[in-house]
A and B are shown apart, each in its own frame.
Chain A
Amino acid sequence: DAGVIQSPRHEVTEMGQEVTLRCKPISGHNSLFWYRQTMMRGLELLIYFNNNVPIDDSGMPEDRFSAKMPNASFSTLKIQPSEPRDSAVYFCASSLGDQETQYFGPGTRLLVL
Chain B
Amino acid sequence: KQEVTQIPAALSVPEGENLVLNCSFTDSAIYNLQWFRQDPGKGLTSLLLIQSSQREQTSGRLNASLDKSSGRSTLYIAASQPGDSATYLCAVQGNNRLAFGKGNQVVVIP
Contact = CB atoms under 8 A, between A and B. Distances in A.
A28 interface: no
Interface residues of A, number: 21
B34 A43 contact: no
Interface residues of B, number: 22
B31 A107 contact: no
A101 B103 CA distance: 18
B100 A99 contact: no
Contacts, number: 44
Contacts of A30: none
A48 B102 contact: no
A98 interface: yes
Contact of A42 (B34, B46, B93, B103): B103
Contacts of B97: 45, 48, 56
B44 A99 contact: no
If over half of A's interface residues share one DSSP class (helix, strand or loop), that class is named, otherwise mixed; here it is strand
B61 interface: no
A63 to B, nearest CB: 21
Contacts of B42: 106-107
A104 B89 contact: no
Interface string B77-110: 0000000000001010100111111110000000
A104 B39 CA distance: 12
Given A91-B43, A106-B42, A101 B34 contact: yes
Interface of B: 31-32, 34, 36, 41-46, 49, 89, 91, 93, 96-103
